[in-house]
Amino acid sequence: MIIRLIERTAVLLVSLVVSSVLVFAFMAVLPGDPARVALGVNASDEAVAELRRQFGLGRPLPTQYFDWLGGLLRGDFGTSYVSKAEIGPQVFDRFQVTLWLVLAGMVIALVVAAPAGTVMAARHRKVSGLALSAISQLGVAVPAFLAGILLIMLFAVKLGWLPANGWTPPAQDPGMFVRQLILPALSLGLVQGAVLTRYVRSAVLDVLREDYLRTARAKGLRPFPALWRHGIRNAAVPVVTVLGLQLATLLIGAVVVERVFVIPGLGSLLLDGVSNRDLLLVQDVVMVLVVAVLVVNFLVDLLYVALDPRLRVGSR
Amino acid sequence: MSVVADVNVRTSDVLTVRGLTVTVRDKTLVSDVDLSVGPGERVGLIGESGSGKSLTALSVLGLLPEDVTASGSVRLTGVDHELIGADERRMSRVRGRRLAMVFQEPMTALNPTMRIGDQIAEAMLIHGTRPGRGAARAAAVELLERVQLPPDTLRAYPHQLSGGQRQRVVLALALANDPALLICDEPTTALDVTVQALVLDLIVKGVVARAAALLFITHDLAVVATVCERVLVMYGGRVVESGPVGEVFTRPRHRYTEGLLAASDLETTQRRLTTIPGNVPPAGQFPSGCVFRTRCRHATEVCATTPPWTGSETTGFACHHPAEAVDD
Amino acid sequence: MRRLNPSLVAGGLIVGLIVVMALVSFVWTPYDATLVDPVNRLAQPSWDHWFGTDKFGRDVLSQIMVGSRTTLFVGVVAVGVAAVIGVPLGILAAMARRWPAEIIMRTNDLLLAFPALLLAIMFGAVFGASTMTAMIAIGIASVPSFARVIRSGALQVMRTEYVLAARAAGRQPFPIAIRHVLPNVTSLITVQASVSFAIAVLAEAALSFLGYGTPPPTPSWGRMLQESQEFLFSAPRLAIFPGVAIAIAVLGFNLLGDGLRDRFDPKLEDRR
């Protein structure tokens, strides 16, 4: 248990360092001059030189990297080349918005996928199971932004039940916050739910074939209670893995969905950064996204241990 | 079922199976099996793999795979309804309560994410045979003790136990509610030879202590000889011979039983082992008439018709050319 | 005995249909897809314009047809890039010694934290948005899943007796990889290509929707969706047609992938 924890933590730390190098190298080494990129091709050489001096872009790359990394660790994300504003507070604000969106999407995905996938598996030879399979297959094919557009058309335009876009912080107006969160969270959650449903189905199908489920039935448990008491936890192990991997998809899906619903999240910040050619901002946001994915995958790894006692070596 | 059918059921028997037929799509895997187990009786069901013995057990329990269907009649003492075709609600009250089963593969028969104690206690809590969680837990300790496992096994997870220990846990939870009938499907086949004897001993002790009946499925003649009083021989989805163990094993009548005994070293007087010619056909592809005729040295034209049952249900055989009845 | 596999048939039909549509668009479309017709702006579907026209009076059906080329082109190049890098990496990881293999797979896992779209946006930020950067970025992002699948397949092949025999006979690793491993993972490559293709179609649509994919005037389903957004109230069909096209294309490749997988390994799905 302890050994596993240490091992996982080491892997996480190495991954974080390597990915920070990758992100930095990609943004710093590959293209031309970030200052030139920020100011555009028409900028005068003097202006470019001035910007380079101001942000220390002439220093050796390792120095720049360690400055950047050290800043990140202290919570200092640097200053935008373009707006000259502190990046940190913006990233922090926007991150909360995206977090709400992703969490709500994840919850919806789970609420959809867990029962739907289980029914699909338990009734996989019956019409209801096949129908659900077909629906999930369709759901997988719909990208989140398209789902968003369709949901807007139905619930905002046609029925007028919910606002078509916008964002209100929960502290300001909780009612409006929820109303505006519903549609974007649904677009993320339904699509992700469709994908997750297929994993839940195959996990439950595997469990249904297990001998211990037959033992549970032989004890006198009916099919669904047997599956609930003895199957769910075992089926959860592979599903949790996928859930961790899907977080990356969900985060990136949020980037696009934020655009559809005009939500000031991390995705909008990233896209604005790209439009304004604000490379440091892009670099920071990408790093935050990657860190989020890696940390969640680390937590998922720990969750396995809680779910599967076989991984708790020497726990007796 | 009709009153007439019920008259034929000997009320003293614990388990009565009549005309059991198991099919998967168009294939017949078990056909027309009759079998009875009396109170406290230990009956062996022997046959090679594919003979339909496991399917017979699963039909009794109502746990056949989804696309496999059973027809015929299965009655259990103390249960006022037919078991074949009974709905889940009614079957779940019988399973684990009046009828319990020990499966072949102990390594996978227990839930890997649940503690042993909870799995045993659950068997009692489902049927409300103990007043509460505490009582069920106390009973679980006692059950573990009977199968010679220490009380701290309660807190263990299955992966911390050996195969033999796990099979004893499965036995403990099968016996938790004092069932009228225990079915064991090759319970020691997957175990090391050294622990087989212990598990067999515990099974016999367990059923004897509860005056429960035992239906013991195996391909191992030696195991049947030590555990059972009566034996049924299955081949090709049919019961071909039945009788007291001593009688069947010393004076087999059906030619298949004869071959089976000759092939095992159980009763051979000469040192040379014989084998039955040919192979067991794949499931559902046995010949019509006598299922053994394609491998039988004594087969004649008459064997193309299904041989009638000779003798009583408890002692008899189905063969057109039986071996001599008198031992010489 | 082999039953007709509905996923394979449906997926094959849909993909075939898209390919035919793309091919036809080279020789015939109802209108020039980029032809601006101010008189017929936002026309309703009619005999003249089956799917109506957009805000510039361009024929929607023609744009959808030409857009299928973009979709297929991006998919083919992205999957090509992913396969050309991912397959050798996967085989290498399966055949290499413990440590090099470990490093390859760890790096691979790390790259999974960079989804296709994120990579493409980064590429767009650095190199400027174009179809080329989108294709390459999507391709690179698809490498890890390719490498992972191929590695597990190659590991199985490495354990087979004919490979063991070849190694015992002193054959060099490279000939073994070419003669034994590669031919035996082609079915995996096909399945993974189909699945990656679906992801590429999704990523391209999302990128074009965000404005980082195919630049105008080349028709692209994703950009058609983006342009439709301002008319969600007045002309929702402008979103429906390209949206349905994207969903059907993704569905087609997903079904094809599922069908191929079942066909190559019927044990994977449940059919006892």
- Looking at the predicted structure, is the pLDDT value of residue A91 above 90? no
Distance CA A143, CA C198 (A): 11
The answer to whether the Cβ–Cβ distance between C206 and A164 falls below 8 Å is no
Smallest CA–CA distance from C109 into chain A, residue:
A15
Closest listed residue to residue B310, CA positions, set B301, B321, B299, B302: B321
Residue C98 binned pLDDT confidence (cut-offs 50, 70, 90): confident
Examine the domain organization and report whether A170 and A67 are in the same domain.
Answer: no
In this prediction, residue A33 carries a pLDDT of: 66
**CA distance linking residue B309 with residue B241, whole number of Å:** 9
Q: Looking at the domain assignment, is residue A298 inside a domain?
A: yes
Mutate to test the interface with B, among A1, A123, A209, A212 (most CBs of B within 10 A): A212
A144-159 pLDDT, tens digit per residue, is: 888 888 888 888 877 8
Size of interface A-B (CB pairs under 8 A): 77
**Distance, CA of B216 to CA of B207 (rounded, Å):** 11
- Given a cut of 50, whether residue C194 has pLDDT beyond it is yes
What is the per-residue pLDDT across C114-170, written as a single tens digit (0 to 9) for each? 777 888 888 877 777 788 888 888 898 888 888 888 888 888 888 888 888 888 887
* Domain annotation covers residue A115: yes
Query: Does A17 lie in the same domain as A94?
Result: no
B275 pLDDT tier (thresholds 50, 70, 90): confident
Q: Does residue B6 have a pLDDT over 60?
A: no
Tell me which CATH code domain C6-18+53-271 carries.
1.10.3720.10
| Predicted confidence (pLDDT) at residue A59 exceeds the cutoff of 90 | no
Confidence of residue B274 (pLDDT cuts 50, 70, 90): low
The string of pLDDT tens digits covering residues A122-137 is: 877 777 777 888 888 8
**pLDDT surpassing 80 at residue B258:** yes
- Please tell me the predicted confidence (pLDDT) of residue B119: 92
The verdict on A181 and A244 lying in the same domain is: yes
The pLDDT tens digits of the residues spanning A4-35 come to 788 888 888 988 898 888 888 877 765 556 66
| Pairwise pLDDT comparison (A33 vs B32), residue with the higher score | B32
- Residue A218 to residue B100, Cβ atoms within 8 A: yes
Look at residue B20 in the predicted model and tell me its pLDDT. 92
In a domain, A80, yes or no: no
Q: Which residues of A touch C243 (CB under 8 A)?
A: 142, 146, 149-150
Q: Which of A143, A149, A290 sits opposite C202 (nearest CB)?
A: A143
**Å from C35 to nearest chain A CA?**
26
Nearest neighbour of A146 by CB, restricted to C109, C212, C225 = C225
Looking at per-residue confidence, does C74 or C35 come out higher? C74
Q: Is residue A207 in some structural domain? A: yes
Report d(CA C106, CA C96) in Å as an integer.
14
Average pLDDT, chain A: 82
Binned at pLDDT 50, 70 and 90, residue C84 comes out as: very high
Instruction: Average the pLDDT over each of B17-26, B313-322, C256-265 and give the range with the smallest value.
Output: C256-265
Q: Is B138 helix (H, G, I), strand (E, B) or coil?
A: helix
Inside any domain, residue A81: no
Strand partners, B246: none
Task: Map out the domains of chain C as residue ranges.
Answer: 6-18+53-271
Question: What pLDDT is recorded for position C66?
Answer: 84
**Token digits of residue C10:** 């449906």
Specify whether the CB–CB gap between B137 and B121 falls below 8 A.
yes
Mean pLDDT in residue range C54-72: 82
A194 and A106 share a domain? yes
* B26 burial level (CB within 10 Å; 0-12, 13-18, 19+): exposed
Is residue A82 situated within a structural domain?
A: no
What pTM was computed for the model?
0.79
Residues A111, A14 share a domain? no
Whether the per-residue pLDDT at C272 is higher than 80: the answer is: no
The sign of the CA dihedral A109, A112, A114, A117 is: negative
What does the mean pLDDT of chain B come to? 85
Which chains touch B (3+ CB pairs under 8 A)? A
Name the domain count of chain A. 2
Q: Say which CATH number the domain at A235 has.
A: 1.10.3720.10
Higher-confidence position of C59 and B176: B176
A249 versus C42: the higher-pLDDT residue is A249
Return all residues near C178 (Cβ < 8 A) that are at least 6 apart. Answer: none
ipTM of the complex: 0.83
- Contact of C121 with chain A, judged by CB distance below 8 Å, is answered with yes
Asked whether residue A207 falls in the same domain as residue A277, the answer is yes
Interface of B with A (CB under 8 A): 61, 63, 66-67, 88-89, 92-97, 100-101, 103, 105, 108-114, 122-123, 126-127, 155-157, 159-160, 170, 173-174
Give percent of chain A above pLDDT 90. Answer: 5
pLDDT of residue B270 exceeding 70: no
Percent of chain B with pLDDT strictly greater than 90: 34
Give the distance from residue A120's alpha carbon to the nearest chain C alpha carbon, in angstroms.
12
Q: Are residues A46 and A185 in the same domain?
A: no
The answer to whether C118 and C203 are in contact (CB under 8 A) is: no
> Is residue C265 very low, low, confident or very high in pLDDT (cuts 50, 70, 90)?
low
Could you tell me which chains touch chain C, where touching means 3 or more CB pairs under 8 A? A
pLDDT for A104: 92
Pair (A159, A46) in one structural domain = no
List, in order of start, the domains of chain B with CATH numbers: 15-111+180-228 (3.40.50.300)
pLDDT band at B8 (very low <50, low <70, confident <90, very high): very low
Predicted confidence band at B174 (pLDDT cuts at 50, 70, 90)? very high
pLDDT at C63: 85
- Distance, in Å, from the CA atom of A94 to the CA atom of B107, rounded to the nearest integer, reads 51
Sheet holding B27-37, edge to edge: B27-37, B15-24, B68-76
- Whether residue B234 has pLDDT greater than 80: yes
- Residue contact C126–A26, C-beta within 8 A: yes
Question: Which residue range is the domain that position A293 belongs to?
Answer: 87-312
Q: Which residues of B touch A239 (CB under 8 A)?
A: none
Per-residue pLDDT tens over the stretch C206-231:
888 888 877 777 888 888 888 877 77
A2 lies in a domain? Answer: no
